[in-house]
Structure 1
């Protein structure tokens, strides 16, 4: 199986994050209520945190476990916030913490891996 490339994934997540941030600031500001816009912006912010972490992981060998956890966490956490903001589907709020837990796990695994090197 081909290894996940954290640098490529981080750069892609960052590019998408910038695009979604601009979309939120310009196209959604007048369309969403303030609470939904805050949720959307939170999704962008945490997506960028994960993107930057992946870029940093790309400078070190290994890190596949952390890469997978951070990617899954960003997709689930930020993705559910985007869909929640745009559709109002409140049930997604129950799924968002799963993504948050994956992000936390990814950062902890990255810390443990870095400590051992």
Structure 2
């Protein structure tokens, strides 16, 4: 069992619920349909991967280096991917788009993909 994966999984799951409600109720009036869809994409990916982290936390021992890499890839990926989307959407809704966040989103997606690839590698070896 990996406590850090469980803690981050639970935190990201909680925040996904809060951000989902925030988007559905408070931001709905401020955001365009496209912006709201982007925000919801961030929430969905965050929740999906929070569940993955919880599952990994209960099933990985982190005695091997690859287990640690998998968990860190998902934690970093969630943070970079989802939170950069939130920042981009909210800042653009306030007409102060934080353009530096644009390149961060694909890095988060890449980190999530690396986490999945490492998981596949672990299953194969």
Superposed pair shares fold, TM > 0.5: yes
Which deviates more from structure 2 when the two are superposed, residues 60-69 or residues 73-82?
A: 60-69
Gapped regions of structure 1 (runs ≥ 5): none
Does the CA contact (< 8 Å) of 1:4 and 1:64 recur in 2?
A: no
2:78 aligns with one of 65, 74, 81:
74
Kindly name which structure, 1 or 2, has the bigger radius of gyration based on alpha carbons.
2
**TM-score, normalisation: structure 1:** 0.89
Residue pair 2:70, 2:119 contacting (<8 A) in 1 also? yes
Q: Following the alignment from structure 1 to structure 2, what is the Cα–Cα distance between the partners of residues 20 and 83?
A: 12
Unaligned 5+ runs, structure 2: none
Q: Distance in 2 between matches of 1:95 and 1:16?
A: 20
Partner of 1:64: 68
> Aligned pair in 2 of structure 1 residues 4, 113: CA closer, same or farther (>3 Å)?
farther
How far 1:13 moved relative to its partner? 0.6
Q: Does 1:104 align with 2:113?
A: yes
SS in 2 for 1:32: coil
Shift in Å, 1:17: 0.5
- TM value normalised by structure 2: 0.84
Matched residues in 2 for 1:14 and 1:45: separation? 10
Distance 2:30 2:76 in 1: 29
CA distance in 2, matches of 1:12, 1:80: 17
